[in-house]
């Protein structure tokens, strides 16, 4: 998998090291010379470093974004992350764009524009790396001191109790929110009239003690 990361701060550096260690091809865009020098000393030599602004067309061209499977922007500025992701999606038709959101109030904007909005390095890496069998549930990240979990459920191909149903017709467990649906190469921001299909990967935030109930609802198991 080829991944381009915009932003070489602590989040970008850690994410780049993690993805490269797992065998992915990684390029990183960073505009600060001092940070680039530090990255060159810390990151594996196989990580391609691009000097430039990730919101700039030339920098994304130099990074080969048109060939990327995933584009991730993790700078400390939400506006830059959104612009960089939109450029990757619109100009280079990148298959998947993920943006770091520093202010929760901006998450809706990212999702509305088709950019996966996330706020933790661990969540990003799991969203990219994990492959689940049908009906398996994985707790990706425990949120708010263990009270909430971000989980992924892959809808079964047969005997799926929620397939062809709209989200507004589902009786979700209390305090559970669906945040994304991955369908093939497409990532859908779920709305009330979104109909689920067999094989969909459903991402949800739910209280820890509701995970089993959520699994039964979506898989019948």
φ, ψ of residue 152 in degrees (nearest 5):
-125, 130
Q: Are residues 20 and 79 both part of a single domain?
A: yes
pLDDT, one tens digit per residue, over 160-203 is 999 999 988 988 888 888 888 888 767 787 888 889 999 888 88
pLDDT for 41 equals 93
pLDDT, one tens digit per residue, over 87-112 is 999 999 998 999 988 777 787 888 88
Q: What element of type H or E holds 16?
A: helix 10-21
Q: Are residues 100 and 138 both part of a single domain?
A: no
pTM: 0.57
- Cα 108 to Cα 167: distance, rounded to the nearest angstrom: 18
Q: Are residues 139 and 123 both part of a single domain?
A: no
What number is the average pLDDT over the span 28-43? Answer: 94
Query: Do 97 and 88 form a contact (C-beta atoms < 8 A)?
Result: yes
CA dihedral 49, 87, 23, 154 (to 10 degrees): 160
Taking all residues of the chain, what is their mean pLDDT, rounded to a whole number?
A: 84
- Cα 107 to Cα 100: distance, rounded to the nearest angstrom: 9
pLDDT for 95 equals 85
pLDDT for 55 equals 95
pLDDT, one tens digit per residue, over 110-146 is 888 889 887 654 455 555 555 433 344 444 444 544 5
Q: Are residues 122 and 136 both part of a single domain?
A: no
Q: Are residues 105 and 27 both part of a single domain?
A: yes
Which range marks the domain in which residue 12 is found?
Answer: 2-128
Q: Are residues 56 and 122 both part of a single domain?
A: yes
Domain boundary residue, one of 103, 128, 153:
128
- Cα 20 to Cα 45: distance, rounded to the nearest angstrom: 10
Query: Any idea what the CATH number is for the domain that residue 191 is in?
Result: 3.30.70.1450
Closest CA to 98 of 7, 190, 25, 36: 7
């Amino acid at each position: 998998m080829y991944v381009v990361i915009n932003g070489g701060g602590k989040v970008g550096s850690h994410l780049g090291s993690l993805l490269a260690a797992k065998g992915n091809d990684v390029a990183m865009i960073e505009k600060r010379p001092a940070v680039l020098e530090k990255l060159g000393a810390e990151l594996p030599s196989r990580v391609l470093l691009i000097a430039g602004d990730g919101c700039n067309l030339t920098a994304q061209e130099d990074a080969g974004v048109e060939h990327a499977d995933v584009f991730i922007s993790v700078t400390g500025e939400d506006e830059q992350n959104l612009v960089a992701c939109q450029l990757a999606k619109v100009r280079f038709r990148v298959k998947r764009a993920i943006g770091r959101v520093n202010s929760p109030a901006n998450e809706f904007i990212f999702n509305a524009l088709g950019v996966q909005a996330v706020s933790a390095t661990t969540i990003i890496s799991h969203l990219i790396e994990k492959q689940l069998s049908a009906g398996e549930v994985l707790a990706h990240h425990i949120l708010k001191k263990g009270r909430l979990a971000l989980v992924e459920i892959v809808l079964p191909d047969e005997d799926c109790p929620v397939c062809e149903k709209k989200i507004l017709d589902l009786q979700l467990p209390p305090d559970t929110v669906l945040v994304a649906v991955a369908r093939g190469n497409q990532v859908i921001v779920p709305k009330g009239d979104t109909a689920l299909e067999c094989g969909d990967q459903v991402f949800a935030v739910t209280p820890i003690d509701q995970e089993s109930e959520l699994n039964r609802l979506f898989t019948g198991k």
